[in-house]
C-alpha cells in the first residue's frame, strides 16, 4: 500500500474547516494534527469542530503549534491570515520542522513585489530544509493569475490582459456578506476601507504574477476600492440591503508600463450580483477570451485548490513557489465513496 | 548577457515553418540548425524557406540529421509526423545527442496507453541523457487536456468531463481543408477514413491524459469519425462545397468506466462552421463550464504552444513529460520589437 500523505491543519476558521472536510474525503491523506488558538476549539476533536458527521476523528485541536509541528508529517495546510507579516513566524516554524506548506495567505500567493525581503527569508528557509511552500486559492492563485497565464500558452504574443470576476455574495456566508460591507451606508463603507477592514486581498499579487509571467515590465500597480450601491432592495438569507446602501465591494487593479495599461483586474463581489462570471481576455495574437459563466464558487473552490495543490508542492523543487511554477489540477487522492 | 537557448528545427512543413517564424521573433532563442528531407528545401537558407522578410538568416536546411544534431544546441523542435512509430528513430537520435525535444507529434502528447513500450524506451533514453521530451500542440496538448485539467484545480470532485471544439476551417490553409475532406462526397470521405487518410489525431491521447489526471480508471476509449455534410453552398478562398457534399470532419471520443461515460470529447472541424468555440465542462462540485468563443486558432496557437513550451521542457525533470506535468504559459523570450 502506498504511504499516506500526513497533513497538519494550521488554522480552523471557515475556510480551514472547509479544507479539513475535503481532506477527510481523500483516502491518501491523513490528518495528523490541528492547530488553532481559539479557546472554543482548543482541546476538542477536529472532526467535531468542523462539523463532520463521522466525528470524532481522534485528532485534537491544539494551541501549541510547536508540539503539533514536531509530529511526523509531510505538509502543513495553513489558513490563518491574509497578511504575510502576520504569518511569518507561523510559516518559518512549519519550514523549520521540515514541512512543506500550502497556505491561503493571499499575500503569499506572489509576495516578491510587496515583500521582497520576507520572500527571500522564506525561500532560503525552505531551501535549507529541502521543502517547498505555496500561497494559493481561487483569487489570488487561480482565476486572475494561473488561468490567464495558462491561457497564454497558446499566445504568439500578448499585449494586454484583463481578468474580471463578478461574484454574487447572496448565497455566501454571513461573515463574508458583512466583510464586503453589505447593508452599510456608503460613508460607513468608506470609513471601513480607510481603516483597512474592507478589502479583498490579492489583486496586486495577481497582477505582479501575470506581469512577470508575460514579461511585462510594470512601472506601477494601483488599486481602488469603491462600494457597489444597491439600486433596489436585495434580500439574502441573512440580511436586507436597501436602495442606496452598499451591496458589496468593487475593486479595480491596474498594472501600467510606460504610462500604458497592460493589465486590468476587476472584482465585483456583492449581494444580488447580476451575471456572475469569471472572464479573462488576452489581447494579442490570437485575441482570446475565456469565460466561466456563474464564476468559480469562492468557498468550495478555495478549499479545492488548496487541497489539490498538496501533491504539487510535495513534488516541487525546494523553495518559495507560486501557482505560476506548478502544474495544478484535481487531486483524486483515492476519494472515499 | 544571458546565454541564448539554441534550437534545432526538425521538419519544416507548414507548422514547422510557422514555429520557425515565431522563434525568430524571440531574442532569447537562436536557431542553430534545420533538418528537412524535402529536396525543394535542402541546401536553401531557412529564412527563405519559411518566407521570412529578413532572410537570409545564414542557417541552411540540411537532410543530414546526424550532422545537424551534432551541433552545440539545447533543444530540438520536432514537427514531422503524427505517428509515434514513424518518428521513434528521429526522437531517439535527438535524445542521443543530449537534446531536449518539443514535438508536435500528436501520438507523443500522451503515448502511455497506445504505445506503452515506446513510451518506456523514450523515457529511459531521455533519463540516460538527462534531458526531457514533450509532445504538445493545441489539440492534443492544450484545449482538450491541459485546459480541463487546469480548470479541475478548483474542483472538490469531478464526475464527468467534456471538451468540445468547433473549428471553422474556412479561413485555414488549403491542405487543411482538403485533409478534412471538404468538397468530397460522403462515400469518398468514408473511403478516406477507412484508408486512414482522414483523421485528426489526438482525441484518445487527450482522453487518456484527462482520465489519468482525474483518477478515472477507464475500461475503454472509443472514437468515431463521421462527415459533416454541407446544407448549403459554402465558399472558401480555395474551394466550394455543394449541399450534400462533405464540409469537414466530426470526431467523437469517449472514455468509459464500468459502462458509464466519464469523458466526452468532440471535434467538429469544417468549412462554414457556425459558432466556432472551445468549451470545457466539468460536472462535479462545483459544476464548471469554460468557453473560449471563436476557439483557439489552430495554426497560430499550435506554433505558440510549442515555442512557449521550450523553457518548461528545459527546466523539467529528465524523461518523457506531458503537458499534464508542466506549468505552461507564454514565453516572452525578449520578443524582438
Domain of A44, CATH number, reads 3.40.50.720
Q: Domain check: are B108 and B153 in the same one?
A: no
pLDDT for position B337? 44
Judge whether B190 lies within some domain: yes
Contact call for residues B123 and B320 (beta carbons, < 8 A): yes
pLDDT for position B1? 53
Residue segments in chain A with a per-residue pLDDT below the cut of 50: 337
pLDDT for position A1? 53
Is A213 within 8 Å of B305 when comparing Cβ atoms? no
Output the pTM of the full model: 0.96
pLDDT of B4 > 90? The answer is yes
Q: Domain check: are B18 and B40 in the same one?
A: yes
The average pLDDT across B187-205 equals 95
A262 touching B (Cβ < 8 Å): no
**Which range, of A176-180, B34-38, B156-160, B259-263, averages the lowest pLDDT?**
A176-180
pLDDT for position A246? 97
Closest CA to B155 of A22, A337, A106: A22
Is A329 within 8 Å of B324 when comparing Cβ atoms? yes
- What the block records as the C-alpha cell of A312 is 504539487
Residue B130: how many other CB atoms lie within 10 Å: 11
Q: Domain check: are A33 and A129 in the same one?
A: yes
pLDDT for position B335? 66
Judge whether A330 lies within some domain: no
Is B334 within 8 Å of A215 when comparing Cβ atoms? yes
Nearest chain B Cα to A298, which residue? B154
pLDDT of B139 > 50? The answer is yes
Judge whether B336 lies within some domain: no
pLDDT for position B309? 98
Write the CB contacts of B15 (distance below 8 Å, at least 6 apart in sequence): B79, B104, B299, B302, B303
Best B147, B153, B168 residue to mutate vs chain A (most A CBs within 10 Å):
B153
| Tally of domains within chain A | 2
Q: Domain check: are B193 and B266 in the same one?
A: yes
Q: Domain check: are B110 and B82 in the same one?
A: yes
Nearest to A154 among B153, B296, B334 (CB): B296
Give me the DSSP letters along A38-51: -TTTTTSBHHHHTT
Q: Domain check: are A69 and A109 in the same one?
A: yes
Nearest chain B Cα to A137, which residue? B154
**Which range, of A19-23, A298-302, B84-88, B220-224, averages the lowest pLDDT?**
A298-302
Best B109, B144, B146, B156 residue to mutate vs chain A (most A CBs within 10 Å):
B156
Is A304 within 8 Å of B156 when comparing Cβ atoms? yes
pLDDT for position A3? 87
B263 touching A (Cβ < 8 Å): no
Q: Domain check: are A14 and A88 in the same one?
A: yes
Q: Domain check: are B84 and B177 in the same one?
A: no
Nearest to B155 among A214, A326, A330 (CB): A330
Judge whether A84 lies within some domain: yes
The average pLDDT across B313-322 equals 97
Range of the domain at B29: 5-137+300-321
pLDDT of B162 > 80? The answer is yes
Q: Domain check: are B38 and B129 in the same one?
A: yes
SS (H, E, C) chain B: CCCCEEEEEECCCHHHHHHHHHHHCECCEEEEEEECCCCCCCCCEHHHHCCCCCCCCCCEEECCHHHHHCCCCCEEEECCCCCHHHHHHHHHHHHHCCCEEEECCHHHCCCCCCCHHHHHHHHHHHHHHCCEEEECCCCCCCCCCHHHHHHHHHCCEEEEEEEEEEEEHHHCCHHHHHHCCCCCCHHHHHHHHHCCCCCCCCHHHHHHHHHHHHCCCCCEEEEEEEEEECCCCEECCCCEECCCCEEEEEEEEEEEECCEEEEEEEEEEECCCCCCEEEEEEEEECCEEEEEECCCCHHHHHHHHHHHCHHHHHHCCCEEECCCCCCCCCCCCCECC
Q: Domain check: are A158 and A104 in the same one?
A: no
Judge whether A56 lies within some domain: yes
Q: Domain check: are A233 and A304 in the same one?
A: no
Is A286 within 8 Å of B297 when comparing Cβ atoms? yes
Is B157 within 8 Å of A327 when comparing Cβ atoms? no
Last residue of a domain, one of A278, A295, A312: A295
Nearest chain B Cα to A145, which residue? B329
Q: A 153-172 residues with CB below 8 A of B? A: 153-158
Judge whether B333 lies within some domain: no
Judge whether B337 lies within some domain: no
Q: Domain check: are B230 and B98 in the same one?
A: no
Is B147 within 8 Å of A142 when comparing Cβ atoms? no
Judge whether A326 lies within some domain: no
Nearest chain A Cα to B309, which residue? A153
pLDDT for position A172? 85
Give the 3-state secondary structure of residue A92: helix
Residues in B closer than 8 angstroms to A28, CB to CB, are none
Contact call for residues A77 and A7 (beta carbons, < 8 A): yes
Residues in A closer than 8 angstroms to B288, CB to CB, are 292, 296
pLDDT band at B336 (very low <50, low <70, confident <90, very high): low
Best A104, A153, A165, A297 residue to mutate vs chain B (most B CBs within 10 Å):
A153
The average pLDDT across B77-99 equals 98
A281 touching B (Cβ < 8 Å): no
Is A300 within 8 Å of B286 when comparing Cβ atoms? yes
Is B152 within 8 Å of A324 when comparing Cβ atoms? no
Contact call for residues B88 and B133 (beta carbons, < 8 A): no
Amino acid at each position: 500500500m502506498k504511504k499516506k500523505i500526513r497533513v497538519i491543519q494550521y488554522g480552523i476558521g471557515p475556510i480551514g474547516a472547509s479544507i479539513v472536510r475535503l481532506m477527510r474525503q481523500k483516502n491518501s491523506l491523513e490528518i495528523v494534527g490541528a492547530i488553532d488558538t481559539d479557546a472554543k476549539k482548543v482541546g476538542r476533536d477536529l472532526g467535531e469542530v468542523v462539523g463532520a458527521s463521522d466525528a470524532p476523528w481522534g485528532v485534537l485541536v491544539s494551541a501549541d503549534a510547536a508540539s503539533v509541528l514536531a509530529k511526523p508529517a509531510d505538509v502543513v495546510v495553513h489558513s490563518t491570515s491574509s497578511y504575510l507579516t502576520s504569518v511569518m513566524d507561523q510559516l518559518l516554524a512549519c519550514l523549520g520542522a521540515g514541512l512543506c506548506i500550502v497556505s491561503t495567505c493571499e499575500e503569499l500567493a506572489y509576495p516578491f513585489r510587496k515583500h521582497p525581503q520576507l520572500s527571500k527569508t522564506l525561500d532560503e528557509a525552505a531551501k535549507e530544509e529541502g521543502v517547498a511552500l505555496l500561497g494559493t486559492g481561487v483569487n489570488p492563485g487561480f482565476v486572475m493569475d494561473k488561468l490567464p497565464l495558462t491561457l497564454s500558452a497558446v499566445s504568439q504574443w500578448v499585449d494586454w490582459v484583463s481578468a474580471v470576476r463578478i461574484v454574487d455574495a447572496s448565497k455566501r456566508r454571513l461573515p463574508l456578506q458583512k466583510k464586503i460591507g453589505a447593508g452599510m451606508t456608503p460613508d460607513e463603507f468608506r470609513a471601513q476601507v480607510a481603516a483597512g477592514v474592507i478589502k479583498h486581498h490579492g489583486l496586486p499579487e495577481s497582477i505582479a504574477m501575470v506581469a512577470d509571467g508575460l514579461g511585462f515590465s510594470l512601472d506601477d500597480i494601483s488599486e481602488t476600492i469603491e462600494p457597489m450601491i444597491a439600486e433596489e432592495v436585495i434580500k439574502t438569507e441573512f440580511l436586507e440591503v436597501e436602495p442606496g446602501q452598499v451591496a458589496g465591494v468593487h475593486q479595480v487593479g491596474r498594472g501600467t508600463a510606460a504610462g500604458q495599461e497592460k493589465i486590468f483586474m476587476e472584482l465585483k463581489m456583492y449581494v444580488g450580483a447580476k451575471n456572475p462570471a469569471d472572464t479573462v481576455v488576452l489581447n494579442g495574437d490570437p485575441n482570446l477570451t475565456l469565460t466561466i459563466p456563474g464564476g468559480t464558487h469562492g468557498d468550495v473552490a478555495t478549499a479545492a485548490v488548496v487541497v489539490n495543490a498538496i501533491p504539487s508542492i510535495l513534488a516541487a523543487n525546494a523553495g518559495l513557489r507560486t501557482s505560476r511554477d506548478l502544474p495544478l489540477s484535481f487531486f483524486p487522492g483515492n476519494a472515499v465513496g
